[in-house]
Amino acid sequence: MDNIGDIEIKVVGKSGHLELTPDNYDIRQIASILQNVEDLLFPNSKKGRPLITYDIQEGSVRHIFKTPIQYIIGFSAILGQIQDSNSIDFLDLKTARAIESIQELSLQKNYEFQFSTSVKDNIELSISPKTKFYRTENIWVDAEFYFYGTLTNAGGKSKANIHLDTKEYGSLTIDTGKDFLEGQEENLLYKKFGVRATGKQNLDTGELDTKSLKLLELIDYSTKYDSDYLNALIAKAKKSWEGVNTDDWLSNLRGGYEA
Amino acid sequence: MKHSVLLDTSFFVRLLNDEDPLHNNAKGYFKYFLEEEIVLKVSTISIAEYCVKGKIFANPASSSWQSLTSNPFVL
């Protein structure tokens, strides 16, 4: 077996009254396919990914991608699973979005996209205006999140947002609205913040849709021990605990159950 | 690797009540965790238990709770 395999995406359709060929196929559609294929093959980290080479051939239009066979085998399995289950809910977010994008292109242009790989002889997945490869919306629910990190960017001409560099999720873009940024008197950049935000979360996997984040609140984030601040909290909180024996109270609350 | 610690309900009760016999222990640990940049985690169960009696946590959006989470707590 060769170390390099290939993926073919054959586009069947018409350009006006003419059969589709590379001569009448717009570069915008080529660019869209290239972007989607990168997301399909390497949805998570594009840094350090192996080389993917590209060729376009006639019949109608055939996009040919070459990359190490290991990734082709994985991709072929995913294609098979999508075709068999007729669903893309099991995919991670970027892969699902790439498939949705191709489905959308298919509807707009009345094209059929036939996916095949060098691993198998037959067409492994077909996306046409008749198919409906969209995520089931109801598995993505509204949720609230806390993120902690350094604010690296704030602004935007049409969409006002902040960029928060987090250890857990990398750099997150969070919509803020222009009013929020306009009202900030201090420079927010390169300071540590906690962010309370809403967004979509996958009910099955817990995955977070990082494109859906909206700011609820920016919280000053300081890891320094501040005894004045703690004492102020204690002064407010202790009234609730006057005369309480913590052990007895917790034991009673838990009904004899000790976590 | 950064260490983290899970704080139980009694920790918060003792930390926020300076008349509790173990208050100084809780405060000492709290100070130590922050100084050593140890991530402090608290479960929602502990928050719920605290809220049974502790008023300042009655609303997670209350200013006190926000201030507390502004330290390196992770919900």
What are the mean pLDDT values of chain A's consecutive 10-residue runs (259 residues total)? 87 88 90 89 80 91 93 92 92 89 93 93 90 85 89 90 90 92 88 90 85 89 79 85 90 73
Longest CA–CA separation in chain B, Å: 36
Judged by DSSP in three states, B55 sits in helix
List the 145-204 stretch of A: residues with Cβ below 8 A of B.
146, 148, 194
> Is the confidence at residue B1, as pLDDT, over 80?
no
| Closest approach of A237 to chain B, Cα-based (Å) | 6
- A223 vs B37, B49, B53: nearest CB: B37
The residue of B17, B33, B55, B73 whose CB has the most chain A CBs within 10 angstroms, and thus the best one to mutate to test that interface, is B17
CB atoms within 10 A of CB A11: 24
Residue to substitute from B1, B3, B6, B9, interface A, most A β-carbons within 10 A: B9
Distance from CA of A147 to the nearest CA of B (A): 8
Contacts of A171 (CB under 8 A, 6+ apart): A152, A163, A164, A165
Residue A217 CB: number of other CB atoms within 10 A? 13
Q: How far is CA B28 from CA B15, B32, B33, B50, in A?
A: 9, 6, 9, 20
Q: Which residues pair with A65 in a beta bridge?
A: A7, A54
**Closest-CA distance of chain B to residue A196, Å:** 10
The radius of gyration computed from the CA coordinates of chain B, to the nearest angstrom, equals 12
CB distance A245 to B18 below 8 Å: no
Which chain A residue lies closest to B14 (C-alpha atoms)? Answer: A246
Residue at A100: amino acid letter = E
Q: Please tell me the predicted confidence (pLDDT) of residue A66.
A: 94
Bin B17: left if φ > 0, else alpha if -120 < ψ < 50, else beta.
beta
* Chain A residues in contact with B39 (beta carbon < 8 A): none
Q: Is the pLDDT of residue B57 over 60?
A: no
List the single residue in B with minimal CA-CA distance to A148: B72
Nearest-5° angle of CA A89, CA A144, CA B73?
120
Chain B's closest residue to A259, CA to CA, is: B8
ipTM of this complex: 0.78
Q: Give the pLDDT score at A225.
A: 84
Distant-in-sequence contacts of A201-209, Cβ < 8 A, 24+ apart: A201/A140, A201/A141, A201/A142, A201/A143, A201/A145, A202/A93, A202/A139, A202/A140, A203/A139, A203/A140, A203/A141, A204/A89, A204/A139, A205/A92, A207/A92, A207/A93, A208/A143, A208/A145, A208/A169, A209/A93, A209/A140
Is the minimum CB–CB distance between A253 and chain B shorter than 8 Å?
A: yes
pLDDT of A240? 87
What was the pLDDT predicted at A92? Answer: 85
Residues 6+ apart with CB under 8 A from B9: A250, B45, B46, B49, B50
What pLDDT is stored for residue B50 in this prediction?
87
CA distance A113 to A10: 6
Selecting from A148, A219, A225 the residue whose C-beta is nearest the C-beta of B35 gives A225
The predicted structure's pLDDT at residue A1: 60
Which tens digit of pLDDT belongs to each residue from B9-42? Answer: 899 899 989 999 999 999 999 999 888 888 788 8
Q: Say whether residue A110 is in contact with chain B using an 8 A CB cutoff.
A: no
Question: Which residue reads 């915008």 in tokens?
Answer: A28
> CA torsion sign, A17 to A22 to A23 to A27?
positive
Cα separation, A237 vs A244, in Å, equals 13
Query: Does B22 contact A237 at a Cβ distance shorter than 8 Å?
Result: no
Query: Largest Cα–Cα distance of chain A, in whole Å?
Result: 87
| CA distances in angstroms from A49 to A38, A72, A74, A96, A209, listed in the order given | 10, 13, 14, 19, 23
Q: What is the pLDDT of residue B70?
A: 42
A197 vs B contacts (CB less than 8 Å)? none
**Which residues of chain A neighbour B10 with C-beta distances below 8 Å?**
246-247, 250
Token pair 């990734």 in the structure block, residue:
A71
Please report, in angstroms and rounded to a whole number, the separation of the first and last CA atoms in chain B: 20
Rounded CA gap, A7 and A114, in Å?
10
Decide the pairing of beta strands A18-19 and A14-15: antiparallel
Choose the closest CB to A237 out of B16, B49, B66.
Answer: B16
